[in-house]
Amino acid sequence: MPVTTLFFDLDGTVSNNFDGIARCLNYALERMDYPLLSDDEVLPFVGPPFRESLPAAFPGIDVEHALVLYRERYEHTGWQENALYHGIHDAIRALHLQGFTIALCTSKPRIFAERIIDHFELGRYFDGVHGPEIDGRFDRKTDLLEHLIGHYAVAPHNAVMIGDRDKDVEAALHVGAHSLGVLWGFGSHDELHGAGAKRIIATPAELIHTIHSLA
- Catalytic residue IDs: 9
Instruction: Supply the angle between the helices 166-175 and 141-151 in degrees, to the nearest 10.
Output: 50
Q: Which residues pair with 102 in a beta bridge?
A: 6
Backbone φ and ψ for 43, nearest 5 degrees, come out as -50, -45
Closest CA to 34 of 64, 57, 67: 57
Distance CA 193, CA 110 (A): 28
95, 207 Cβ separation under 8 angstroms: yes
Distance CA 84, CA 15 (A): 4
